[in-house]
Copies of this chain bind each other. A is one copy, B any other.
């Protein structure tokens, strides 16, 4: 007899275990399956420090959270409905994320003394009263997996490495999801090592059957597909979306892509990803350092290619001198910053939004550079594409800001049609139009862009460089007034990009009490929050900026339509500082600098507090 199935709207699951326990891969599989059956889904991998910690230690815990729903969602969820822990350390690190009465599945085989001690438990928490407010399922995951695989040829160690699929099998049962996608994936993944295919599938099945058989699990859940706009969808991580956005920009502009980089967490995946697309003519160059990486990108741009570089944190500090050169030389260049928690080396596997002011100001002299920020995993595609478009159109370096949270997070993406992509036209100079010969700083009157003349073009030979240049001719100039003029032109050129920015969309109230103003990876938490208040009928709006430099032309007006501006950021108040200085508005910051994204409840708390104060006065 089939056990009862309960319809629910959404669920959040967190898999956690030792780095070696495979939480990331079963998390990803659950995400894929869930997306494929039509739920909206958002994920949050939570890695430990970059270096392996001792097995069983708190520092070694790796987690993967996913949130799926029959409605549109924007975040991987605050608290979880289900927590799967492979060892005591995982329990210790994550229990506080489980909702009251939530389901806790624990691999009891790993709760032996040594592991308890490593996690800092005096006695077994599974035996204590601490867990009474949860539904606890004690499962001998290791033993059951061994049993299921006892007929295979694998060694004990190899068998134990399959136990994550046992856990996945259980979860698939619990949420009534098919196993086929996972099986397909297992087959593809182990195509070169076929001896692992069968065992992993066996483990998956065993977990699934276990739930069906055991009395522990009385009910399973179903989450119906979410309403999506028509289209073809795939699941995508932010860094992969960045890769595709760059390849698309190269393809659409017919500019060969030259990506110079030096490995660094969490930007390396863009290098790894792009390196696979040689058939698109993509050149990836792993250089000796971040300076060389931006250097080759600048050289490529000078040569007439789409020069791109990417890094994170300290790498951006190193690139700043060369970015300044690209700025004064007025060459197209895209610099990707996948932000992580600073300062200095900081916490390389944690997220943060604290490089915004560095991107604005981290160069000597007056050095305006446009900044485009992505707001969610799939938005990396459009945002980085937009960065390329601006770079080419305005002949300027452009900074593309992403962060670890959206770079590693995944969600469904409606795949765009190629024809929907905005045009990117390099319009290379082909001849000298003036009687004075070629003038490399004679500008387009509308965009103020200077001509892009590729080496190899006869008659356009010219010299550029980092010394101040004379207007029009581009000769070296120490003239006072020319310098001031050039400083102004460079600023004005960036300011004019605002003319390309479409009117700002305000979600929710178009005017009223509080405007939530955000940028970057906090989109999900802010939008969810705004939706909640709007659902309650409160006059709260949400604006999320993609363009940070320049700001949209209509931003000032919009800000003045609300009584309070709340700017939540994963830093100490960087956009806040810019908004206050630019619009002289007493905007309020909500700042979290913990290496972790916002929880929706944190935003609620702050907004409620503001609303209360507003009533008060």
Q: A residues bordering B, Cβ < 8 Å?
A: 48-49, 59, 312-314, 316-318, 320-321, 324-325, 327-329, 339, 341-347, 349-350, 352, 354-355, 357-358, 360-367, 465-468, 476, 478, 480-481, 483-484, 487-488, 490-491, 571-572, 577-578, 580-582, 584-586, 592-596
Contacts and interface: CB of A to CB of B under 8 A. Distances in A.
A329 B582 CA distance: 34
B344 A466 contact: yes
A346 B466 contact: yes
Contacts of A362: 317, 320, 358, 361-363
Given A343-B324, A344-B327, A584 B580 contact: yes
Contacts of A582: 580
A478 B349 contact: yes
Contact of A344 (B328, B476, B484): B328
A499 to B, nearest CB: 21
B318 A343 contact: no
Given A476-B49, A584-B586, A594-B480, A364 B342 contact: yes
B313 A317 contact: no
Contacts of A465: 345
Chain A contact residues: over half helix, strand or loop, or mixed? mixed
Given A480-B596, A484-B594, A343 B366 contact: yes
A484 B570 CA distance: 10
Top 5 closest pairs, chain A to chain B, by CB: A342-B365, A343-B365, A345-B466, A480-B594, A362-B362
22 contacts: A48-B478, A316-B364, A328-B343, A328-B344, A328-B346, A341-B468, A343-B364, A343-B490, A346-B364, A354-B365, A355-B364, A357-B357, A358-B364, A361-B362, A478-B595, A480-B596, A484-B592, A484-B593, A487-B593, A488-B593, A580-B580, A581-B581
B328 A317 contact: no
B365 A313 contact: yes
A318 to B, nearest CB: 6
A283 to B, nearest CB: 26
Contacts of A313: 364-365
Contacts of A321: 314, 317-318, 344
A325 B124 CA distance: 41
Contacts of A595: 478, 480, 483
B483 A347 contact: yes
